[in-house]
């Protein structure tokens, strides 16, 4: 049966609860592993038929059935149902890419929820790509956990040879870079040439070095964003290291990686040094950080994530203020 035929008749199974098809995730972890189903049979019991079909189509079923000590982050049936036709066509035309896409959801080692901590990097079967796990704490709602930006809806389903966690989306491995944020900007020079110049001018700054080397989120103004500055301002800017430092630090988070699925409307994100904050606005039309529209989001690198924005987060007077406060 093809993926298209299955999806056309599929009744989507809701997996937001910790109880799915009679299996309690928390209770399952307490059972003896020798008495449990293997991952393939457990996934079938959970009703995750689309992922199982994808494993069949990529010749991964037996690999997973007999693998030892793996953790699988399985996208919901709805995630497959929502796939655009262009993606299915691409997978049909590129079976190896299809296989890698499924391998990316399979992690080497056993990771129950108590071992999944914020900013944990996981080794996938799609080497050398790693997957980042994040936990977002919210005061007005439950915490949100994500696997490479996809929300974990439930988990800790124990199998004889591993653990299953359920996620709400298929992670697009083609949006993941095996390079640092700095190298990502340099490799996308047509979009971020001016930002790269500003970073280069501030590269010897200790605060900039520290901010760019740690896990971070970079709100990256594209070249069009810099074109909105007053005439002559950019040429003046790149000649002044302190001004470049202030501008760079105003676009990097104080704390770690912010995938868009982990943040909520109205959330205030602290920026490096606590001098600035940016407020998130989320609606069906898109996402904004402060007064900036996000054009491309969740561009993952080895040390965080990049969101391309169309306007600088701070104005020239605010840059001046940042310099004066140093």
Taking only the tens place, the pLDDT of each residue in 34-93 is 579 999 999 999 999 999 999 999 999 999 999 999 999 999 999 999 999 999 999 999
The answer on pLDDT for 294 being more than 90 is yes
Residue 22, class by beta-carbon neighbours within 10 Å (0-12 exposed, 13-18 middle, 19+ buried)?
A: exposed
Local structure of 275: helix, strand or coil:
coil
Across 109-113, 133-137, 203-207, 287-291, least confident range: 203-207
| 114 burial level (CB within 10 Å; 0-12, 13-18, 19+) | exposed
CA dist 205 and 211 (Å) reads: 10
Q: For the chain, where do the domains classified as CATH 2.30.180.10 start and end? A: 3-172, 177-324
What does the pLDDT read at residue 97?
97
Output phi, psi for 237, to 5 deg. Answer: -60, -50
Find out whether 71 and 39 touch, Cβ atoms under 8 Å: no
pLDDT at 161 over 90: yes
Q: Lowest-pLDDT range, 38-42, 99-103, 273-277? A: 273-277
pLDDT of residue 18: 42
CB neighbourhood size of 250 (10 A):
20
Whole-angstrom distance, CA of residue 212 vs CA of residue 248: 9
Pairing of strands 120-123, 130-136: antiparallel
Query: According to DSSP H, which parts of 202-277 are helical?
Result: 206-213, 223-227, 233-237, 241-249
- The conformational region for residue 161 under phi > 0 = left, psi -120 to 50 = alpha, else beta, is alpha
Instruction: In whole angstroms, give the CA distance from residue 222 to residue 307.
Output: 10
DSSP state of 176: B
* In the block, residue with structure tokens 């039309």: 285
Give the whole-angstrom CA distance, residue 3 versus residue 101.
Answer: 15
pLDDT digits (tens, 9 = 90+) for 4-39: 444 443 433 333 334 343 344 444 444 455 579 999
* Residue 132: φ, ψ to 5°: -105, 130
What would the CATH number be for the domain defined by 3-172? 2.30.180.10
First CA to last CA across the chain, in angstroms?
64
Give pLDDT, residue 10.
42
Pull the structure tokens for residue 239: 């000649």
**In angstroms, rounded to a whole number, what is the distance separating the alpha carbons of residues 79 and 147?**
14
Residues in the chain, how many?
326
Task: Check if the beta carbon of residue 124 is closer than 8 Å to that of residue 176.
Answer: no
Would you list the DSSP string of 261-273?
Answer: GG--TT-EEEBGG
d(CA 127, CA 213): 23
Name which of 283, 324, 290, 322 is nearest 309 in CA terms.
Answer: 290
Q: Give me the CATH topology for the region 177-324.
A: FAS1 domain (2.30.180)
């Amino acid at each position: 049966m093809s993926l298209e035929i299955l999806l056309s008749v599929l009744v989507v199974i809701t997996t937001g609860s910790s109880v799915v098809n009679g299996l309690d995730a928390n209770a399952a972890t307490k059972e003896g592993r020798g008495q449990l189903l293997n991952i393939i049979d457990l996934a079938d019991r959970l009703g995750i038929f689309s992922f199982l079909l994808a494993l069949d189509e990529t010749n991964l079923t037996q690999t997973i059935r007999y693998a030892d000590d793996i953790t699988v982050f399985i996208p919901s049936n709805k995630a497959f149902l929502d796939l655009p036709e262009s993606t299915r066509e691409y997978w049909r035309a590129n079976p190896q890419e299809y296989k890698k896409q499924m391998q990316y959801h399979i992690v080497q080692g056993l990771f129950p929820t108590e071992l999944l901590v914020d900013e944990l990097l996981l080794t996938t079967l799609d080497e050398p790509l790693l997957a980042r796990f994040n936990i977002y704490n919210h005061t007005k709602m439950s915490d949100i956990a994500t696997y490479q930006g996809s929300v974990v809806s439930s988990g800790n389903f124990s199998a004889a040879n591993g653990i299953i966690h359920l996620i709400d989306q298929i992670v697009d491995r083609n949006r993941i870079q095996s390079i640092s944020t700095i190298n990502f900007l340099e490799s996308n020079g047509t979009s971020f040439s001016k930002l790269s110049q500003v970073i280069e001018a501030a590269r010897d700054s200790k605060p900039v070095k520290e901010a760019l080397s740690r896990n971070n989120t970079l709100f990256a103004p594209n070249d069009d964003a810099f074109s909105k500055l007053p005439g002559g301002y950019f040429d003046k800017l790149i000649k002044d290291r302190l001004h470049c430092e202030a501008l760079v630090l105003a676009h990097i988070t104080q704390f770690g990686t912010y995938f868009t699925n982990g943040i909520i409307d109205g959330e205030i994100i602290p920026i490096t040094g606590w001098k600035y904050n940016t407020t998130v606005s989320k609606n069906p039309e898109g996402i904004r950080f402060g007064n900036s529209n996000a054009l491309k989001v969740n561009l993952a690198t080895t040390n965080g994530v990049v969101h391309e924005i169309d306007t600088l987060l701070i104005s020239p007077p605010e840059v001046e203020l940042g310099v004066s406060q140093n």
